Chain A
Amino acid sequence: MAQILVKAIDATHADPVKDRRGCYKRGMPVVVMPDSHTWGREEGLPTFVIIKIPGVSVEKVRKYIEPQREDVANEDGIYPTYRRRLWKFRFDDMPTAALKKLRDNGELTIKVGDYAGDYDYTWKQVRNYIRNLKTNEDEGGTL
């Protein structure tokens, strides 16, 4: 079971390259932790929200904290970071009720598979609001 800590507000930098490459924007996942993890006192609103996905391993959602890489490797064979994160939750396009819950409670619980506990939305509903910033397409995969 995984939890994703997601940035809820934009960081900005006057240099557009650093702004893109370095700054976390609203909706970008920051870290993933197991369900048992308890968060620090500043890991919540107003800076962060938490997306809980019971029953899914940390390894399965770790891809959401990958940076977006340059398409071309440098002379050392390394693909430098182009953007701080490849994926972004499109919070502001979510249904009003979901957005309200995030604003009020700072978290959403997502049902995947045969999870039988309380939840707010299913993965199938939410994945349409997770955008791959390189392809500009929303997540279509399963967990």
Chain B
Amino acid sequence: MATTVTKIIDPDNGSGTDYTSLSAWEAAQQGDLTGVRDEIAVAKCRCTGGTADTTPHTYIDGWTTDSTRYIKIWTDPSESYRHSGKWETGNKYRLEVGTSLADRYYAIVVREQYTKIDGLQIHVHPSGSSYGVNGITMDNGSNYSEVSHCIIRCTDEAGYSYGINGYGDYRKLYNNIVYDFTRTNSCGIALTASTPNTNYCYNCTVHNCAVGYYGIDNATIFKNCLAQNCSNGFESDGGLGTGSDYNCSDIASDAPGSNSQTGNVVFVDEDGDDFHLNSSDTVAKDKGTDLSGDSYLPFSDDIDGQTRSGTWDIGADEVITVGGIPPWMLSRTRAIQHLMVR
């Protein structure tokens, strides 16, 4: 049985830090996990002093992995360094990549199969560059990789950019929020594949992007995905994945699937980029489908790590009422407490 080897990444070099950037961890640990190492390589990201990880171009490349000896990059939700479902600074780990280099650049590029990225915040802001930027690129070779519970945003685009994109098969995205990739041809989530219907994008929220979700040749099945304030919510070249359904867009005849919704969703604080569903919403709330038994990508939580129940909501967040009482019926104090426990 593979040994889990966990290293601590903390830009503030707090107690127990092994590496002060994700790039340094990758450079030190890259290798064959399937051979004598027989290892699951884990980067546990922290932010003990409020400093962001600003190193660009963290390529996950030059490794050998398989289904039981894989790479995991995450913030541990049992620690205090993971976001609470919206972009946060303070002691929340985040990759903030903004310094111009000589070409298109990336926060993270995954070129190895069986790479799992969970609970990161990524902000790409290429001020001064003439090139586009990508949050996470799941490049050729990233088959069987996963991205979940991540928040990815962009400012100061100079060229067309992507929140999450790439080419490969059997990639799984769920419970992610992507926003503000606004330039012409920019896109929140764009996946292509060599084999149709082998990428799965479930319960994601994309807001204020030129294109919300993009698929080529039936590459990706979209379920419970929410697009709001995008010029085009769901776009394809050759079709979205077979069985795409229970999605939502604010553009008529946009979201794929006979059970999909059209309308303006009510968020907790849309202007403040808090894309938790407001419990008063009637467009996405209780309009999704239960994916806990999905044959490709079963899961049962939301971006906050809270267990989804009943009829699922569309998007990354599931409205959880307190004792069955929705927040709008609570006192102001209780309503604030509700938001704090989300």
Interface size on A, residues (CB 8 A): 35
A21 to B61, CA, bound (A): 8
Among the stretches A65-73, A92-100, A106-114, A135-143, the one at the interface with B is: A65-73
A24 to B62, CA, bound (A): 8
Among the stretches B21-29, B144-152, B245-253, B293-301, the one at the interface with A is: B21-29
Among the stretches B11-19, B205-213, B310-318, the one at the interface with A is: B11-19
- Which residues in B have their C-beta under 8 angstroms from that of A35? none
- Chain B interface residues toward A at CB < 8 A: 7-10, 13, 17-21, 23-24, 27-28, 30-32, 55-57, 59, 61-64, 99, 101-104, 111
**Ranked 6 nearest A-B pairs via Cβ:** A22-B62, A22-B61, A23-B62, A40-B17, A42-B18, A30-B27
CB distance from A43 to the nearest CB of B (A): 6
- Chain A interface residues toward B at CB < 8 A: 5, 7, 11-14, 18-19, 21-24, 30-31, 33, 37-43, 47-48, 59, 62-63, 65-67, 69, 78-79, 81, 84
Inter-subunit contact B24/A48 (CB<8 Å): yes
State which of A5, A14, A40, A84 has its C-beta within 8 Å of the C-beta of B18. A40
- Which residues in A have their C-beta under 8 angstroms from that of B99? 59, 62
**Beyond the given A22-B62, A22-B63, A40-B17, could you list 19 further A-B residue pairs with CB under 8 A, ordered by the A residue number?**
A11-B30, A11-B31, A11-B62, A13-B64, A23-B30, A33-B20, A41-B18, A42-B7, A43-B19, A43-B20, A43-B24, A47-B27, A67-B57, A78-B103, A79-B103, A79-B104, A81-B59, A81-B61, A84-B61
A37 to B9, CA, bound (A): 14
State which of A19, A48, A66, A79 has its C-beta within 8 Å of the C-beta of B28. A48
Main DSSP-derived SS at the B contact region:
loop
CB distance from B66 to the nearest CB of A (A): 14
A30 to B13, CA, bound (A): 17
With a 10 A CB-CB cut-off, give which of B19, B55, B99, B111 has the most chain A CB atoms: B19
Inter-subunit contact A18/B13 (CB<8 Å): no
Can you give 21 contacting A-B residue pairs, CB < 8 Å?
Answer: A11-B62, A12-B31, A13-B32, A13-B63, A14-B32, A18-B111, A21-B62, A23-B30, A23-B62, A31-B23, A40-B9, A40-B13, A41-B17, A43-B20, A48-B28, A62-B101, A65-B56, A66-B102, A67-B59, A84-B59, A84-B61
